[in-house]
Amino acid sequence: MGIHAVPAAAADTPSLSRRARDLLAGDLGAHRDLPIDDDADTPTPAPVPVVERTVYSREDSRQAWLRRRADLEDLTGVAGQLDDVDKRVNEINRQAMALLSTETGLQTGVDVT
């Protein structure tokens, strides 16, 4: 039952697919022969001209950077506030664990710092 102690025998060559046998023999070719189109009379299409255009003007770009810098200045105190929240959460967790350990008389051994 369950997993067999003896591994199954490796698949012999006749049981493999033709493609697998070709790969094992080092033949990395396509699985079928594709015809080659030697039609040299086909005209090549003319290249499409590349036209450079700007979507935003220099003033638009400047305004966007000013808004970005103002947004970053608004976020300067957020890291400190989040640190304060983390400290408070750790303190509450510590108090909860202390209450549970005194309630049940067990030492939890959990470090919440």
Q: Is-above-0.75 flag for pTM?
A: no
Cβ contact 112:94 at 8 Å: yes
Look at residue 32 in the predicted model and tell me its pLDDT. Answer: 65
Look at residue 107 in the predicted model and tell me its pLDDT. Answer: 58
3-state secondary structure the chain: CCCCCCCCCCCCHHHCCHHHHHHHCCCCCCCCCCCCCCCCCCCCCCCCCCCCCCCCCHHHHHHHHHHHHHHHHHCCCHHHHHHHHHHHHHHHHHHHHHHHHHHHCCCCCCCCC
What is d(CA 109, CA 99) in angstroms, rounded to the nearest whole number? 13
Q: Which residue has the higher pLDDT, 32 or 44?
A: 44
Residue linked to tokens 């049940």:
104
**Where are the chain's structural domains?**
58-107
Distances (CA, A) of 24 to 11, 12, 47: 12, 12, 44
Look at residue 111 in the predicted model and tell me its pLDDT. Answer: 55
What is the identity of the amino acid at 87?
K
pLDDT digits (tens, 9 = 90+) for 36-76: 766 666 777 888 888 887 788 889 999 999 999 999 888 88
Whether the pLDDT of residue 31 is over 70: the answer is: no
